[in-house]
Amino acid sequence: MRRFTPSARRLALFSAALLPNLAQAQNTSPDPVPAQRLPAVQVQAARVQEVADVDLPASISTVWIDDAAAGPQVQIADALGGIPGLVARDRQNHAQDTQLSIRGFGARSTFGVRGVRVLVDGVPATMPDGQGQLSHASLLGAQRVEVLRGPFSALYGNSSGGVVQVWSADGAAGDPWRVRLDAGSDATVSAGAQLRGQQGAVHYNVAANHFRTDGWRDHSRARRDSVNARLGTGLGGGELALVLNYLDAPDAQDPLGLTRAQVRADPRQATAVATQYNTRKSVRQAQAGLVFSRTAGAHTWRAMGYAGQRSVAQYLAIPPGPQANPLHAGGVIDLDGGYGGVDARWAWHGDWAGRPLDVVIGANADRQRQNRRGYENFVGDTLGIKGRLRRDQADRVENVDQFAQAWWQWAPRWSLLLGVRHSTVRFRSNDHYITAANPDDSGSRRYAATTPVAGVVFRASEAWRLYASAGRGFETPTFNELGYRADGQAGLALDLSAARSRNLEVGAKWHPQGGAQLETALFRADTDDELAVASNTGGRATYRNIGRTRRQGLEASYLQPLGARADLALAYTWIDATVRDPYALAAGTVAAGSRLPGVPQQQWNARLQYRPGPWQWAAEVVASSDTVVNDLATERAPGHALLNLEASRRWQRAQGTLRAFARIDNVLDQRYIGSVIVNDGNQRFFEPGPDRRYSVGLQWQWAP
């Protein structure tokens, strides 16, 4: 099968032609100057206070969120295009989170975020078992999104194939506020308001958003309401911040995946059983976090505590027949429980042997308690409603971690970053549904790992940095992966081992004066006991350890200002994700060298932006090669390339600024597969992407 369709190939070549010749680097010898120091920022693992990202041996991308964006801006993933190594797939299915993977980690996830750590204002959005979500994060109140890739991701703990952090904007004097309304195809409406203010020592950022859509595909209607707030004040010579998040997403319809034949016949259709069983999902979540930080001289202390409650009800398309098995858990998943944790760390910034030294030492503990119930999805002949109880268990997972990190500029041109983290993760399940045909399935499992990382940076010139880093990582199964045994018996799959990886990266960063930036990285991650899908049918996914895998590739990003009013941003990723040990399946043998499903080998992203006066125009090309969808590689989603256009206009008034904006996605009306469901047992691997989409909006921003 072709990796790119002809139109995709033309668009990819067009985007490559946009790349101008790189300016010649200066060949004069630089003065031996220290690494660039910046104003104080949040103290956190893998980042060094007051040291610029360019001087760290890691791939770090920062996306700044401003009010000039077009489109609904509902999901954080909408802002992540153009980051090399990252795949964020819109599933056109709000019953499932955006598919998010970094360098191939997390690509197998059928729902939620897996293998990638997510934090919002320093508060974990990933549970101790490694399962996370982006749904409660808000673009309306965000200031920036940071993405960390490579070995130093392991300093964030279990399942850190990469790290995504969302940071809210701080309050501002004068109480500026804005309202935003966006409407588009498929009766999609997004309305939001944000208030940023400061009253004396208290500053705040409160954002609320309402979103609803009929969906592009049949049976994909959804509604989502969210409120995000960050309040801060001075306390005891430091800063105290309160972070609040609330999400309500009731009865989001799930159209399920399609077979290849169904995609060809009608990509907008829903699978017949989706309407028959009214497949849907409801999520409600509320959480709060409290962060205190204080700097005194060379010392910085930070303490964080958080707690939350999350409930999920999901109706699956499982026929009554399989549920006749007394060990079956039913066709309705009902989850309800609380979670929370604490984090404390100390940082010291000074000198050692006359050279700058920064040290961070800390520990954190997190816990999740979850009541998992299963019900039949029928009563008599009526389908898609909650029936008899078939599963009732109390699950608990907790971790206790300790970490340390040191950055030292041991010579004028050289700096070193070292880190280590020790993690212990404990799972416990207590079965409360015990019958004569369904025995007690209680059980527990403990995982532990120590993950060291190290990196070195060479300052080749004022503009150039060369670096290398290496480290280890590990990934435990989540409770969702432990939830069902591959042999069909009841109870947790407690025989699953944690996957362990060895990570290498070498790269270069070029940041000359004038705003241009070029960053490249070569990476390799070798994993033992890789976790992979064993079966995925009837709404039940089971997992197994398959041995060794390898993910290796190249990332490159380039930013070039084109005068004072335009700029060009390019990103490219090539990744070779393969199996290194053959393993057997019921349908055949997966040979060594086979591609890992869910990972496209190549990705392109190009964005050209022009700002003449009050106008702003943008064009972007997004291209992806083909994606294998199952272990035996008998099916794959073809590659595609899409062209998107934006336009906006500002009117400055005495009371504030009015902005109108419009966006057209998939301008050329291409047919393509937006996301895939890895190893779907019903061969419904494909979730089609939408045809040409339109949206228009207005924003009023009042400022004193």
Report, as an integer, the average pLDDT of 25-32: 38
Q: Which residue has the higher pLDDT, 397 or 176?
A: 397
Please state, as a whole number, how many other Cβ atoms lie within 10 Å of the Cβ of residue 563.
7
Predicted confidence (pLDDT) at residue 35 exceeds the cutoff of 80: no
More confident call, 3 vs 400:
400
236's torsion region: left (phi>0), alpha (psi -120 to 50) or beta?
A: left
Give me the mean pLDDT over the 419-445 stretch.
92
Q: Name beta bridge partners: 229.
A: 206, 244
Q: Record the tokens describing residue 308, joined without a space.
A: 């939350």
Give 241's strand partners.
232, 291
**How many Å separate Cα 464 from the centre of its chain?**
29
pLDDT for position 586 = 80
Structure-block tokens of residue 135: 């749904």
CA distance 48 to 50: 6
Each residue's pLDDT tens digit, 304-325: 999 999 999 999 999 999 899 8
Q: For position 47, what pLDDT does the model report?
A: 66
Q: Mean per-residue pLDDT for 564-575? A: 96
Count the helices and strands in the chain (H runs, E runs).
4, 41
- pLDDT, residue 377, reads 96
More reliable by pLDDT, 71 or 80: 80
Q: What confidence tier does 481 reach under pLDDT thresholds 50, 70, 90? A: confident
**Among 524, 543, 526, CA closest to 476:** 543
Mean pLDDT over 489-515 rounds to 91
CA distances from residue 300 to 119, 242, 312 in whole angstroms, order as listed: 21, 19, 39
- What H or E segment, with its residue span, contains residue 481? helix 479-482
pLDDT at 206 over 60: yes
- For 44-65, what is the mean pLDDT? 82
Phi and psi at 230, nearest 5°, equal -135, 120
pLDDT at residue number 38: 38
Name the band, by pLDDT with cuts 50, 70 and 90, for residue 94.
confident
The percent of residues in the chain predicted with pLDDT above 90, rounded, is: 67
Please compute the mean of the pLDDT values over residues 193-207 and round it to a whole number: 91
Residue 6, SS3 per DSSP: helix
pLDDT at 29: 37
The overall longest dimension of the chain from CA atoms, in Å, is 82
* Residue predicted with more confidence, 263 or 34: 263
pLDDT at 15 over 70: no
- Output DSSP code: residue 77: G
Residue 688: name the closest of 186, 95, 219, 258 by CA.
258
Handedness of CA 382, 383, 385, 391 (dihedral sign): positive
Give the pLDDT confidence of 637-653 residue by residue, as tens digits.
999 999 999 999 999 98
Token pair of 315, please?
């109706």
Strand partners, 579: 549
119 close to 166: Cβ distance less than 8 angstroms: yes
Supply the pLDDT for residue 509. Answer: 97
Kindly report, residue by residue over 335-382, the tens digit of the pLDDT.
999 999 999 999 999 999 999 999 999 999 999 999 999 999 999 999
Q: How far is CA 578 from CA 161, 575, 593, 594, in A?
A: 16, 10, 5, 5
pLDDT grade for 654, boundaries at 50, 70 and 90: confident
Round to the nearest angstrom and report the end-to-end CA distance of the chain. Answer: 58
**Mean of all residue pLDDT scores within the chain:** 88
In the predicted structure, residue 240 carries a pLDDT above the cut 50? yes
- At 173 the pLDDT is 79
More confident residue, 572 or 198: 572
**Per-residue confidence band for 34, with pLDDT thresholds at 50, 70 and 90:** low
Instruction: Tell me the C-alpha to C-alpha distance, in Å, between residue 582 and each of 100, 551, 585, 596, 636.
Output: 27, 16, 10, 12, 20
Using pLDDT thresholds of 50, 70 and 90, give the confidence band for residue 147: very high
Is the pLDDT at 19 greater than 60? The verdict is no
What's the token pair of residue 576? 């070779």
Band of pLDDT at residue 290, cut at 50, 70 and 90: very high
Number of neighbouring beta carbons within 10 Å of residue 688: 24
Would you state the pLDDT for residue 572? Answer: 97
**Could you give the domains of the chain?**
6-20+42-702 (2.40.170.20)
Evaluate the CA torsion angle 103, 105, 110, 114 in order and state its sign.
negative
Mean pLDDT for 441-458 is 94
Radius of gyration of the CA atoms of the chain, in A: 25
Lowest mean pLDDT among 105-109, 387-391, 622-626: 105-109
CA distance 145 to 67: 14
Range scoring the smallest mean pLDDT among 462-471, 480-489, 582-591: 480-489
At residue 27, the pLDDT reads 37
pLDDT at 93: 87
Least confident range of 88-97, 256-265, 275-284, 635-644: 88-97
Structure tokens at 322: 């399989």
Contact 641, 7 (CB under 8 A): yes
| 0.85 exceeded by pTM | yes
The answer to whether 263 and 688 are in contact (CB under 8 A) is: yes
Q: What 3-state class would DSSP assign to 425?
A: strand
Q: What is the pLDDT of residue 17?
A: 38
Quote the CA–CA distance of 211 and 249 in Å, as a whole number: 9
What is the residue-wise DSSP string for 8-24?
HHHHHHHHHHTPPPPPP
